[in-house]
């Protein structure tokens, strides 16, 4: 069992005086490809760079940043798998007591705005050492952004953290290019040309072919200016068609280079063939368990990217619309590796990705030129040019479930029911899914039923969901199985009024469904729904929309969705009576 070193002693035990990179993370150390920290570390290792993992340094003690010493080339800093504010707080802004990415769910192991805090700790001790930030928190805060917890526009995290360089999106290609530059002796200040990075400069006279965004000063003053800036970013988020973006500040500029190209199948296969242990460092040494690892330890990610582009989801902004996919051979090889682990019981818990049934050949135009500016691939309406095929995905499922020693292969990632329905072999694939890959429940995400809200969410008409459920029930009846669809629902999404919430309550009564859990919309950095929340404008029509912002208004919508709970009885009665 070979973990990467986590302190000076372990570095020395590997015969090293120092490592090239020290990766600081807000998560506990989990050596699994679903954890970005380990994925980047293993990828660097594959290119002959040495790394150490500094997991959850004590943010009340600046010297804890010295646990692994000083790196030869740079510190790499991330908040972990989730933005630290999303991780630390409920949608109500109440502090969470538990953290599934920490040992034994212990809370308060990562600070608020973790990247800023970790970078300050590094600067206080090591001063001019290069600092490169990345991961979801850096990626979604790379330019000026609305922060729900402070209820204001914040500057680029590159400025607030005082880091030297920011890697956005999926960072494997960029980090190797950066590492090669640093190794060759190039100063971090001169690494300004790598795709998928953001840097700071006081002079832009040497640049051409760029798009100048509204200044931070104007964005803070005027919500329409922020909307204008965000939509320019939205339409410049793909490698094939993007332009360099420049955001002016009082005495400097933040410059975003165009995105990196997505990884090819061969490159993705290489990543998942790296020597991950699939264990958490603490659990291996009997210090405790990591709940987040239990959820995904025996799960296989088959794709990246998502062209579903749900307005409340950050995946499109972070990973892009273009989907890339692993080979069958790579997925099978990973399953075989999992089968050798001591606690494997014969079950693969998930085979999927951001959207399980999306593949890398859904649109040739998207892959070559980037997405269309005037329409969506899939959403409330599906593009007529979309290529619908599930052959690759189901071939992977078949190959894994037919391995000796596999008892069951589950699909727990999101399935786009509208995309599956469009397949001419839908009945065949759905029957296979029902027969072999679910156990009791299939979780889907209609999110709402009001067409007004669904359009704002970029989700399909509820009639399509109903059609899928009928087909699902018919096939279960045919197979003599009792299995159910469980819908995910969101309350208080921007544009959703009390009337819309009542419509959803009535729909839930009609289908005889009583949700035990409802997601209250949280404005996370750099989603279109967060833009709507802050500006109270639909960016595609420029029309004003209603937004539930007060705790009372949000509680009303949530209560209507859980109308059956005794605690909500009086609230629901009051709302209905007034109507």
Three-state DSSP class for residue 329: helix
| Pairing mode of beta strands 74-77, 131-133 | parallel
Q: How many distinct structural domains can be found in the chain?
A: 3
Domain that holds residue 348: 298-436
Three-state DSSP class for residue 255: strand
Q: For 281-301, what is each residue's pLDDT tens digit?
A: 988 778 889 999 998 999 999
Q: Rounded to whole angstroms, what are the CA distances from 459 to 274, 285, 558? A: 37, 45, 20
Among 116-130, 145-159, 190-204, 309-323, name the one with the lowest average pLDDT. Answer: 309-323
Tell me whether residue 230 is in a domain.
no
Q: Is the pLDDT confidence value at 494 over 70?
A: yes
Give the C-alpha separation, 508 to 560, whole Å: 10
Tell me whether residue 322 is in a domain.
yes
Asked which of 436, 454, 473 is the last residue of a domain, the reply is: 436
77: which strand partners? 24, 133
Q: For 34-80, what is each residue's pLDDT tens digit?
A: 999 999 999 999 999 999 999 999 999 989 999 999 999 999 999 99
C-beta of residue 77 within 8 angstroms of C-beta of residue 132: yes
**pLDDT category, 370, cuts 50, 70, 90?**
confident
Higher pLDDT, 365 or 402: 402
Q: Rounded to whole angstroms, what are the CA distances from 464 to 173, 347, 419? A: 39, 32, 10
Asked which of 408, 436, 464 is the last residue of a domain, the reply is: 436
Q: Is the pLDDT confidence value at 413 over 90?
A: no
Give the C-alpha separation, 276 to 444, whole Å: 31
- Burial (0-12, 13-18, 19+ Cβ within 10 Å), 226: buried
- Burial (0-12, 13-18, 19+ Cβ within 10 Å), 228: middle
Higher pLDDT, 518 or 16: 16
- Burial (0-12, 13-18, 19+ Cβ within 10 Å), 203: exposed
Neighbour tally for 436: CB within 10 Å: 16
Quick one: 378 and 409 in the same domain? Answer: yes
Quick one: 373 and 496 in the same domain? Answer: no
Find the mean pLDDT for residues 106-135.
96
Return the pLDDT at 285: 79
Give the C-alpha separation, 324 to 329, whole Å: 15
Tell me whether residue 332 is in a domain.
yes
Quick one: 311 and 413 in the same domain? Answer: yes
Q: Rounded to whole angstroms, what are the CA distances from 62 to 119, 145, 272? A: 10, 28, 35
Q: What is the CATH number of the domain that holds 377?
A: 3.30.750.210
Tell me whether residue 273 is in a domain.
no
C-beta of residue 379 within 8 angstroms of C-beta of residue 460: yes
Asked which of 436, 455, 483 is the last residue of a domain, the reply is: 436
Tell me whether residue 233 is in a domain.
no
**pLDDT category, 578, cuts 50, 70, 90?**
confident
Tell me whether residue 470 is in a domain.
yes
Quick one: 381 and 469 in the same domain? Answer: no
Q: Rounded to whole angstroms, what are the CA distances from 4 to 13, 168, 283, 289? A: 11, 24, 15, 18
Return the pLDDT at 373: 78
Three-state DSSP class for residue 22: strand
Quick one: 389 and 476 in the same domain? Answer: no
- Comparing CA positions, the residue from 156, 241, 249 lying closest to residue 204 is 249
Give the C-alpha separation, 147 to 374, whole Å: 28
Quick one: 420 and 450 in the same domain? Answer: no
**Mean pLDDT estimate for the chain:** 95
Q: Which residue has the tokens 């000076």?
A: 8
- Exposure b/e, 323-333, CB count within 10 A at least 16 = b: bbbbbbebbbe
Quick one: 140 and 180 in the same domain? Answer: yes
Count the helix, strand and coil residues of the chain and give each as a percent rounded to the nearest 5. Answer: 40, 15, 45
Query: Which parts of 26-174 are beta strand (E)?
Result: 30-31, 51-55, 74-77, 131-133, 145-147, 152-154, 165-167
* Token pair belonging to 510: 């009609």
**pLDDT category, 375, cuts 50, 70, 90?**
confident
Return the pLDDT at 316: 84
Quick one: 378 and 521 in the same domain? Answer: no
Return the pLDDT at 369: 82
Find the mean pLDDT for residues 112-131.
96
* Token pair belonging to 355: 């959207």
Quick one: 105 and 185 in the same domain? Answer: yes
543: which strand partners? 538
Confidence (pTM): 0.95
> Percent of the chain beyond pLDDT 70?
100
**Residue 424 exposure: Cα atoms within 13 Å on the Cβ side:** 1
Q: Is the pLDDT confidence value at 403 over 90?
A: yes
- Comparing CA positions, the residue from 379, 389, 231 lying closest to residue 306 is 379
Q: For 422-467, what is each residue's pLDDT tens digit?
A: 999 999 999 999 999 998 899 999 999 999 999 999 999 999 999 9
Q: Is the pLDDT confidence value at 1 over 70?
A: no
C-beta of residue 151 within 8 angstroms of C-beta of residue 145: no
Quick one: 425 and 444 in the same domain? Answer: no
Q: Which residue has the tokens 């061969």?
A: 266
Q: Rounded to whole angstroms, what are the CA distances from 280 to 2, 49, 50, 59, 136? A: 11, 22, 20, 21, 21
Tell me whether residue 48 is in a domain.
yes
Q: What is the CATH number of the domain that holds 455?
A: 3.30.750.200
Q: What is the CATH number of the domain that holds 93?
A: 3.40.50.280
Find the mean pLDDT for residues 4-30.
97
Quick one: 557 and 462 in the same domain? Answer: yes
Tell me whether residue 493 is in a domain.
yes
* Token pair belonging to 346: 């014969």
Quick one: 159 and 303 in the same domain? Answer: no
């Amino acid at each position: 069992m070979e973990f990467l070193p986590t302190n000076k002693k372990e570095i020395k035990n590997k015969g090293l005086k120092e490592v090239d990179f020290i990766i600081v993370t807000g998560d506990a150390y989990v050596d699994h490809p679903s954890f970005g920290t380990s994925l980047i570390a293993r990828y660097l290792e594959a290119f002959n760079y040495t790394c150490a993992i500094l997991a959850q340094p004590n943010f009340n003690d600046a010297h804890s940043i010295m646990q692994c010493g000083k790196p030869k080339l740079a510190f790499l800093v991330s908040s972990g798998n989730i933005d630290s504010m999303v991780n630390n707080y409920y949608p109500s802004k109440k502090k969470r007591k538990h953290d599934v990415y920490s040992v034994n769910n212990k809370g308060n192991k990562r600070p608020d705005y973790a990247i800023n805090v970790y970078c300050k700790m590094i600067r206080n001790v090591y001063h001019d050492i290069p600092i490169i930030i990345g991961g979801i928190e850096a990626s979604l805060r790379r330019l000026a952004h609305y922060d729900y917890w402070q209820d204001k526009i914040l500057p680029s995290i590159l400025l607030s953290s005082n880091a030297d360089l920011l890697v956005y999106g999926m960072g494997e290609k960029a980090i190797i290019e950066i590492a090669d530059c640093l190794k060759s002796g190039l100063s971090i200040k001169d690494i300004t040309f790598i795709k998928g990075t953001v840097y700071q400069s006081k002079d832009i006279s040497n640049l051409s072919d760029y798009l100048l965004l509204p200044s931070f000063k104007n964005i803070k003053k005027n919500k329409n200016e922020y909307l204008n800036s965000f939509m320019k970013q939205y339409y410049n988020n793909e490698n094939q068609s993007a332009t360099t973006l420049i955001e002016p500040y009082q005495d400097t500029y933040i410059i975003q280079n165009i995105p990196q190209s997505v990884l090819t199948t061969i490159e993705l296969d290489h990543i998942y063939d790296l020597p991950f242990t699939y264990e958490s460092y603490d659990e291996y040494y009997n210090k405790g368990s990591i709940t987040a690892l239990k959820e995904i330890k025996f799960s296989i990610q088959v794709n990246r990217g998502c062209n579903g582009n749900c307005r409340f989801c950050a995946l499109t902004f972070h990973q892009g619309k273009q989907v890339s996919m692993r080979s069958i051979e790579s997925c099978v090889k990973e399953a075989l590796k999992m089968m050798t682990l001591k606690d494997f019981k014969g079950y693969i818990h998930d085979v999927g990705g951001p959207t399980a049934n999306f593949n890398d050949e859904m649109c040739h135009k998207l892959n070559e030129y980037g997405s269309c500016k005037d329409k969506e691939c899939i959403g409330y309406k599906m593009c007529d040019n979309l290529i619908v095929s599930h052959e690759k995905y189901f071939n992977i499922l078949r190959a894994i479930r037919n391995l000796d020693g596999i008892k069951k292969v589950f699909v727990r990632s999101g399935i786009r029911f509208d995309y599956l329905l469009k397949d001419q072999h839908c009945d065949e694939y759905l029957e296979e899914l029902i027969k072999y890959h679910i156990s009791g429940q299939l979780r889907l995400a209609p999110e709402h039923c009001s067409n007004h809200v669904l359009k704002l969410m970029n989700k399909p008409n509820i009639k399509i969901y109903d059609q899928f459920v009928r087909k699902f029930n018919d096939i279960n009846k045919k197979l003599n199985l009792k299995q159910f669809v469980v819908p995910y629902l969101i309350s208080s999404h921007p544009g959703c009024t009390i009337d819309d919430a009542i419509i959803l309550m009535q729909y839930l009564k009609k289908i005889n469904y009583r949700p035990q859990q409802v997601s209250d919309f949280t404005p996370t950095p750099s989603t279109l729904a967060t833009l709507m929340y802050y500006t109270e404008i639909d960016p595609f029509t420029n029309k004003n929309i209603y937004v539930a912002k007060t705790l009372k208004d949000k509680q009303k919508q949530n209560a209507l969705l859980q109308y059956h709970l005794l605690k909500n009885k009086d609230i629901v009665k009051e709302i209905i009576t007034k109507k």
